[in-house]
Structure formats: structure tokens, C-alpha cells
Amino acid sequence: MKNLKRPIAFFLLLIMLFSTTTAFAVRHEKRDIALNGIIVNDHIVYSDVEPYIKNSRTFVPIRFIAEELGYDVKWDDVNRKVIMTEGDTKVELKIGSADMLVNGRVVKLDAPAEIRDDRTFVPLRAIAEAFGEKVDFSEDYRAVYIGAEPKYNKFYKVVYYYTNGPVLISNYTINIATYKMDINGNLTRFETAHDLINSVCDDFVDYEINGRSQYGISIYKENTQSKNTGPKTNSSVPKDRQLKDEYYVAPTNDPLVGSWFGRLFYDASSKYSTVDYVYIEALGNNKYKLTKRTLLESDQNSQVITSQYGYYDPQINGLVVSASPIAYDGTGHFKNRSVYSLETTYYLENNNTRISWGEKGSQYFLDKY
């Protein structure tokens, strides 16, 4: 009887725990903004992964710079390099290398390309100048202008790039010099440039999560980068378990990102054994969103959808996940139950194809598919 109490107690804990996400917690965090914007192609451009400064150089995701300059961008996973084409011009850039090939000719960058938050980052000035563009940095406005005759005190539409999904554009314009937003001729002034930018970025995140915008957003162009650019995954998950529902996340070069399957509680003699799906998305700045779908093994109509936020800790090679809010919208067995999840850690194991729940080598784990 003593041995029986432990799995029962663990299961009762799990029934109270299954995972959930509030976009609110991360969405309304103040961002540590390195730049107030990059102005290129008569747009001011932002991304879900923010630029950063390293060794006095500003690093930016190469994708939105290249695409705004008219290049088509592809990722070569085998050779770990970015291939950019525009007309007869072909540009190749390998991760960790400061040598960029332009139609076979070597162009030296002042720092090598590197991966951060599942994006390829490059030193801004070097890459823009390698593309034949002038680059201006304004200390006053903390912004970069790519092109001739820099203009910062001007209203621009906002273009926003996501890791997955279409590229978006605002129906309004903003001026980072005056902290103003213009919506159909109606001007709103914010206290600071950071307040303006945070409000704009929050609105794009709201649109991405909920499909709603406070100020007005449209699709600028489809994202071809999300198609056939992720690594191929040889999964141990049976084909009939590889659920590709509306929550499904395709794998990318970030080992955490993707869809995971397993059993976080299993007892062949119990009708309450579950099967679990965890879908992990990168939010940028080393943060992640987890959406979890838990179903009873004995009754697939009994399920609950929950989610959490977490951050990657390289010291332990694990995803540290915070406690989730309560979810009340389960079906079947989970209907009218208060389901939530305690903080925990998922440890990457088995060459990054498995995440173990709570401790390394745990009997409770999920495999990627």
C-alpha cells in the first residue's frame, strides 16, 4: 500500500497541474531596446527577435535586412549557411564565418555571423554596406537609417517580422523623433520613444496571438522562410501519434522549438492515464511559449489545453518554466476542473530529441516529432 500511494499522489498533483499560457505576462514586459528602429525601404522595421549590441557592433537578424533590400532568403541546414538571391546576385553567409561570398567573391565582414534565438544575426553596418547600401546611425534618435539622405523625423509605416507566419505591416505610421502615432490623421503622442515602440510591438504580438489589433495591421507578404527551412527530424514518435492540429509547431534550428509527444502520467491499470502534447515556440530574447494538450488515454474526448512561459538556461541545457494560470475550459473528465501547472524544468536529452520533466533521466518525458 505504501508503494501505491506515491503514483496516486503524483497523479493527483498532475491533475492540478497541466500547463497553460498567458500572453499577458510576457507581452507587457518592458523591452530592453537596443535600437529605436531600423529605417529601410521607407519603412521602420522591427522583429520578434530584437537587435543587440556586442563589442560595440549592432547585430540584427539578417532576414529582414535582406528581404527589405529585395533579396530572397533561404537557410541551408546541412551546411549551416544563409543563401540570399536577388536577380543575378547570389550571397552566401556561413554561421561562424566573417567571409561572405557575393557571386563567388569573398567580402570580409568585421564580425562573423552567429545564431541567437533561432535567428542568424550579422553586424548591421557590415552587411548593409556589403549589399552596397549606405548606413547612418543617429545617436540622438538611437536608430539606424539604411540608404541615402537619412530622415529620422518622419512618419513611417511599421513592418514586423516573425520567425513563423506572414510579415506584417501597420495601417498607421509612427515618428520616433516626436513619439507620435498617426492613425488616419488622428495623432497620439507618447511620453517617450520607448513607450511608443513598446505599444507598437505589443500590438503586433496581440495580433499574432489573438488575430486582433488595436491600431490596425495587415499582411505585408507571406513568410517563405517558414517552409522547408527547418531541420529534418527522425522521430521515435509513432506516426499515428504525430498529431498536427492547429497548435502544431514545425521544428526549426532551435532544438527546443517544435512539437513533442509523451506520457507525463501513465499507469496501464488506471483509466486516468494521459497522453500529452507540448508545442514550443520561440518568442525571442531566449524566451519560449509552451502550449500543452493533455488527453485521457481512455477517452480522447477528455482534454485540456494549457500553456506556460519559460526561458532557456544553457548551464543546465534546460527550459525553465514558470507556473501557469488556471485553465477552466477542459472537456469530458477535465470539465469544470481547475487545472494549472507548477513551475518546472524540461531538460534536453538524447541529442536534443527528448525533454525530460522535472529532472534529467526522468521516467516522465516527451519526444519530438
Same domain, 256 and 357: yes
Q: What is the pLDDT of residues 194-223, one digit of tens each?
A: 999 999 998 998 887 777 899 999 988 865
Kindly state the percentage of the chain with pLDDT values over 90. 32
Query: Which pLDDT score is estimated for 223?
Result: 59
Whole-angstrom Cα distance, residue 15 to residue 340?
Answer: 8
In a domain, 83, yes or no: no
Q: Domain boundary residue among 168, 202, 221?
A: 221
Q: Is the pLDDT of residue 96 over 90?
A: no
Kindly state the percentage of the chain with pLDDT values over 70. 85
Q: What is the pLDDT of residues 294-324, one digit of tens each?
A: 988 888 889 888 889 999 998 899 999 988 7
- Report the amino acid identity of residue 108: K
Same domain, 217 and 245: no
- DSSP secondary structure string for all residues of 62-122: HHHHHHHTT-EEEEETTTTEEEEEETTEEEEEETT-SEEEETTEEEE-SS--EEETTEEEE
Query: Which pLDDT score is estimated for 43?
Result: 94
Q: How much is the average pLDDT of 153-173?
A: 90
Same domain, 237 and 211: no
Same domain, 192 and 140: yes
Q: Is the pLDDT of residue 8 over 60?
A: no
Same domain, 209 and 260: no
Question: Model confidence at 4, in pLDDT bands (50, 70, 90)?
Answer: very low
CATH number at residue 314: 2.40.128
| Strongest mean pLDDT among 326-330, 334-338, 349-353 | 349-353
Query: Which pLDDT score is estimated for 251?
Result: 84
Q: How much is the average pLDDT of 239-246?
A: 86
CA-wise closest residue to 149 among 138, 171, 134: 134
Give the domain range for residue 45. 31-71+124-221
Same domain, 200 and 302: no
Query: Which pLDDT score is estimated for 347?
Result: 96
Same domain, 255 and 324: yes
Q: Is the pLDDT of residue 171 over 50?
A: yes
Q: How much is the average pLDDT of 14-35?
A: 43
**Cα 10 → chain centroid:** 32
Q: What is the pLDDT of residues 138-157, one digit of tens each?
A: 999 999 999 889 999 999 99
- DSSP secondary structure string for all residues of 285-344: TTEEEEEEEEEETTEEEEEEEEEEEEEEETTTTEEEEPPPPPEEE--GGGEEEEE----E
Q: How much is the average pLDDT of 336-350?
A: 86
In a domain, 86, yes or no: no
Query: Which pLDDT score is estimated for 310?
Result: 93
Query: Which pLDDT score is estimated for 188?
Result: 96
Query: Which pLDDT score is estimated for 334?
Result: 85
Same domain, 195 and 291: no
Domains held by the chain: number: 2
Q: Is the pLDDT of residue 25 over 50?
A: no
